[in-house]
Chain A
Amino acid sequence: MTEFSHDVLLDEPAYVPPARKADWLMRIGVTIVTLVCFLALFGPYIGPYDPTRTTIRIAEPPPGLTEIPGLMAGWIGGTLDHPPHWMGTDANGYDIFSRVIAAPRTDLKIALLANLLSLTVGVFFGLVAGYWRNWGTELLVRVSDVVQSFPVFILAMVLVALAGRSATNIIIALAFVYTPIYLRLTRAEVLSQTSRGFVEAARAMGNSELSIALRHVLPNSLTPALIQSSVTIGFAILLTAGLSFVGAGVRPPTPEWGLMISTGANQIVLGEWWPSVFPGLAISLTVFGFAVLGNALERRYEKG
């Protein structure tokens, strides 16, 4: 009984779906991710309202489907006294549509940076722990085990409570949570790479250990971590939203999908569905998009 613990999951190659399957799915994934990236760049500027300025209309429902053409005509014709609230307004009087399309800037920024940070740190320590195997690196792995066994949500909440609600602190909290995953992935890959011949060959050619680790082992061990990235970005968006939902997310009135859902959550039992349903739909599609993309990348990697 050697390496038999709960990390089996991560060491196993993913299932290989049959070729050519679900190409349309891949296209959906790419479309969603492209759209979200576009909104992250331009979303805050293209909405009809400033996403952080209240209007005097509190919790106004969105227009019914039949009213949309009329409103559209009025809007273009300039006969309305204010642009229509396509998704209604929330309990604070914000235009929901403008906030839904402005939010990717916040959500994607947090997810990308948290991922980049945990990827860098995790890969670095994974490489060290996999290449130089001694008691020090063993300790490193055990420490990361402890971090991983810590309840994710509570950890993130404590970290945010410690440092205050800000995007930076959420990025750090998420990175803390995800680093052990990259560390394990990379270490496992390094272990399998070093057992191949090329390390011996490089040694025989007189390369230094450091240069072998960096120039030969690292590039060959990076792929699983990079593939994991797409999945992690999706989950980081979920976790960011979840943190906002329990009051440990970004500060209001920053447009952020989880925060928007939580603003509307209280009133849903009273039938006010629009403040939470639209941002939730956005999260649902975005994370699905990243999951699809991640899966497609995984398949490419498995093939060749």
Chain B
Amino acid sequence: MLLRYITRRMLIGVVQLFCLVIAVFFLIRLLPADPVSRLVGLNSSEEAYAQAAAQLGLDRPLFEQLGIYLGLYPEIAPGLLQGSLGVSWATGSTVGSEIATFLPVTLQLITLAFFLAFAVSIPVGMLGALNPGKAADKGVFVYSLFAGSQPEFWWGLLFVYVFYFQLGVAPAPLGQLSPMTFPPEPVTGFMLIDTLIAGEPAKFVEALHHLMMPVITLAFILSGPIIKMVRQNMVRALQSDFVLYANLVGLPRKRVARYALRAAMGPSMTLIGILYGFMLSGAVLVESVFSLGGIGQYAIRSVLAFDYPAIQGVVLVITAISLVVYLLLDLIHAAIDPRIAY
């Protein structure tokens, strides 16, 4: 049953992705400019423009371009069916290899931010839920409303001003490492892992130090909705029959709370999935403030440069990851909550 469910979800996902690819393909071809002039620059002649346009395949009929992108004409260029996302028009590198360098930066950032947000939100949310109506609950409630409605890029800038400029405890917002440090040989693309693989603990610490402020900024924003959700699900779980029963039979309060937490975590997973998917591109503002070259930055650069293959690739990859995350979290939810069957 489980296998059938997964297969069905994957199939739906593939259809969704396919629709998306088609939609994006046509949407960006409505863009008001193409990058040919940027490629040729230098006040070139009409022949040179035509040559450059032909190099990009822009002279082919639209449906043939789509076919090439999908991989129906592998003799012209490899496409999606051959596992290729095409070649970036701005740099000449393959979109796949570029995404492979930008994506880990974002994944690392938002995964750490989620862990931190979770570590803070669970006890805080429980504190609220276990003391309904008391001052602590009110405080938690106001905090979650506040944190959930803040402009994260502004908080990032504020943190830079306070912790870098005024106090000097944080590094300048210059990316993953200081400009003087040479990054380790990329193996996984995740700076924290690569520094360890290269056996350079000093750089690991440095990378962690540089990640500190962006992670705190994001975790602060994320903690709003997560606390709200934990608290809400926790209250619901505390009112459920099995908790009432556990209380009746006189189980210790801590243990009951633990049971309730377990029951509350399930529905929270869904929210985490949505937030994670959103943050893949939504972290762009924080990336921008801290000069982290993440996938969102890559997306913006691609849109600004009218780099069609790169835009298509980024959208496809982000959406595909979101879909996989949704699926995984639904499965985890099912594992936590035995009432869900497939």
A–B in direct contact per CB < 8 Å: yes
Chain A residues at the B interface, C-beta cutoff of 8 Å: 1, 4-6, 8-9, 12, 14-15, 17-18, 21-22, 25, 142-143, 145-146, 149-154, 157-158, 161-162, 164, 234-235, 238, 241-242, 245-248, 258, 261, 265, 268-271, 273, 276-277, 280, 283-284, 287-288, 290-292, 295
B149:A6 contact, CB within 8 angstroms: no
Residue B267 lies at the interface, judged by CB distance under 8 Å to chain A: yes
Interface size on B, residues (CB 8 A): 69
Question: Which one, A154, A287, A290, contacts B311 given CB within 8 A?
Answer: A154
Distance in angstroms from B100 CB to nearest chain A CB is 18
Q: Tell whether, in the assembled complex, residue B138 and residue A150 are in contact, meaning their CB atoms are under 8 Å apart.
A: no
Identity of the chain A residue whose Cβ is nearest the Cβ of B153 in the assembled complex: A245
Give 28 pairs: A residue, B residue, CB < 8 Å, sorted on A.
A1-B5, A1-B341, A5-B330, A6-B270, A6-B274, A9-B274, A14-B232, A145-B16, A149-B319, A151-B281, A151-B319, A152-B282, A154-B318, A157-B299, A158-B303, A161-B304, A162-B31, A235-B149, A238-B149, A241-B151, A242-B151, A247-B304, A261-B153, A269-B165, A276-B157, A283-B154, A288-B145, A291-B149
Question: In the complex, which of the residues B149, B267, B281 has the most CB atoms of chain A within 10 Å of its own CB atom?
Answer: B149
Q: Which of chain B's residues have a CB closer than 8 A to the CB of A245?
A: 153, 285, 288
- B226-250 contact mask (Cβ, 8 Å, vs A): 1 or 0: 0010011001100000000000000
Are A12 and B267 in contact, CB atoms less than 8 angstroms apart?
A: yes
List of B residues within 8 angstroms of A242 by Cβ: 151, 153, 285
Chain A interface: which of B19-27, B36-44, B66-74, B205-213? B19-27
- Cross-chain contact A157 with B300 (CB below 8 angstroms): yes
- In the bound complex, residues from chain A placing their C-beta under 8 Å from that of B31 are 158, 161-162
Interface of B, secondary structure class, is: helix
Specify which chain A residues have a CB less than 8 angstroms from the CB of B273 in the assembled complex.
6
A contact residues around B153 at 8 Å (CB): 242, 245, 261, 265
The listed residue (B282, B304, B340) touching A1 by CB distance below 8 A is: B340
Is B142 an interface residue, CB under 8 A from the partner? yes
Assess whether B197 is interfacial by the CB under 8 Å rule.
no
B231 touches A154 (CB 8 A): no
Q: Which of B133, B154, B231, B274 contacts A276 (CB 8 A)?
A: B154
Known A9-B271, A154-B303: A146·B154 in contact at CB below 8 Å: no
Chain B nearest CB from A196 CB (Å) reads 24
Q: Is the CB of B142 within 8 A of A22?
A: yes
B-chain residues with CB within 8 Å of residue A273 when the two chains form the complex = 161, 165
Instruction: Decide if B157 touches A261 in the complex (CB within 8 Å).
Output: yes
Asked whether A154 and B158 contact (CB < 8 A) given A1-B341, A146-B16, A269-B172, the answer is: no
CB-defined contacts of A295 to chain B, threshold 8 Å: 145
> Across the interface, which residues of A come within 8 angstroms of B296, CB to CB?
153
Number of A-B contacts (CB under 8 A): 163
Q: A6-B270, A152-B278 are in contact. Are A15 and B161 (CB under 8 A)?
A: no
Find residues 314-331 in chain B having any chain A CB closer than 8 Å to their own CB.
314-315, 318-319, 322-323, 326, 330
Check B179 for interface membership: any CB of A closer than 8 A.
no
Structural contact, B151 and A158, CB atoms closer than 8 A = no
Bound Cα distance A142, B172 (Å)? 45
In angstroms, Cα B342 to Cα A158, docked, is 39
How far, in whole Å, are A290 and B323 apart by their CA atoms in the complex?
Answer: 31
Residue of B nearest to A241 (CB): B151
In the bound complex, how far is the Cα of B32 from the Cα of A158, in angstroms? 11
Q: What is the CB-to-nearest-CB distance from B259 to chain A, in angstroms, rounded to a whole number?
A: 19
Q: How far is the CB of A263 from chain B (nearest CB, A)?
A: 12
With a cutoff of 8 Å between Cβ atoms, the chain A residues found around residue B270 in the complex are: 6, 8-9
C-alpha spacing A5/B300, complex, angstroms: 30
Q: How far is the CA of A33 from the CA of B5 in the complex (A)?
A: 47
Q: Name the distance in Å between A45's Cβ and chain B's nearest Cβ.
A: 26
**Residues of B close to A292: CB separation below 8 A:** 145
Whether B141 pairs with A22 at a CB distance below 8 angstroms is yes
Given the known A-B contacts A154-B299, A162-B32, A265-B289, are A291 and B145 also in contact in the complex, defined by CB atoms under 8 Å?
yes
Given contacts A18-B137, A153-B299, A154-B311, 18 further A-B contacts (CB under 8 A): A4-B340, A5-B326, A6-B326, A15-B228, A15-B235, A21-B137, A25-B145, A145-B16, A150-B315, A153-B284, A154-B318, A158-B303, A158-B311, A162-B27, A162-B30, A245-B153, A246-B300, A280-B157
Q: Which of A6, A22, A258, A270 has the most CB of B within 10 A?
A: A6
Bound Cα distance A276, B156 (Å): 11
**Closest-CB distance, B30 to chain A (whole angstroms):** 6
